[in-house]
């Protein structure tokens, strides 16, 4: 468990600069997911002689779903982008490592929230600097100490 996480509430220093770090982590994770998807497109295109290109458009969200779910529910509790920015995710109620379904739902809610950008304003009024997709999935993102 993170030392910055005290009981069921993160300490003030655990939340310092979290929003900015999350944006930078998002950029890193977008690049990683895009590279993985690009490699998969090429490999599947070659293996199937191009026939799979009709079925591959939803590949990016599928890879992002499993990328987020597997990395947040791991022992490190962070995607590679979050690790680079010294962030970690934990359950909001007890600070435990998120289970795969919560972590994957967190990613799915995040990508769905791009259709309603005003929901990103929730973080400006939340005391723990949580976004709506954090609240819906029961996670809190704090700085790793």
Q: Is the dihedral of CA 64, 110, 87, 100 positive or negative?
A: negative
Could you report the per-residue pLDDT of 91-105, keeping only the tens digit for each? 988 889 999 999 999
Could you report the per-residue pLDDT of 58-84, keeping only the tens digit for each? 899 999 999 999 999 999 999 999 999
Could you report the per-residue pLDDT of 47-60, keeping only the tens digit for each? 998 888 888 888 99
Label residue 122 exposed, middle or buried (CB < 10 Å: 0-12, 13-18, 19+): middle
Q: Is the dihedral of CA 30, 35, 38, 44 positive or negative?
A: negative
Check residue 11 and give its pLDDT: 66
pTM above 0.85, yes or no: no
| pLDDT mean across residues, the chain | 88
Domain count, the chain: 1
Expressed as residue numbers, the domain containing 59 is: 5-143
**Separation between Cα atoms, residue 57 and residue 117, nearest integer Å:** 23
Q: Residue 107, Cβ neighbours under 10 Å: how many?
A: 23
């Amino acid at each position: 468990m993170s030392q910055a996480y005290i009981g069921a509430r993160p300490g003030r220093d655990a939340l310092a600069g979290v929003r900015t770090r999350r944006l930078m982590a998002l950029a890193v994770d977008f690049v990683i997911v895009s590279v993985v998807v690009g490699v998969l497109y090429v490999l599947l295109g070659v293996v199937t002689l191009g026939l799979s290109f009709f079925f591959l458009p939803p590949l990016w969200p599928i890879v992002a779903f499993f990328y987020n779910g597997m990395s947040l529910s791991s022992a490190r509790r962070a995607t590679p982008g979050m690790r680079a920015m010294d962030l970690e995710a934990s359950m909001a109620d007890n600070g435990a490592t998120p289970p795969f379904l919560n972590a994957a739902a967190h990613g799915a809610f995040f990508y769905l929230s791009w259709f309603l950008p005003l929901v990103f304003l929730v973080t400006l009024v939340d005391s723990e600097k949580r976004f709506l997709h954090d609240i819906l999935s029961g996670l809190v993102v704090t700085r790793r100490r």
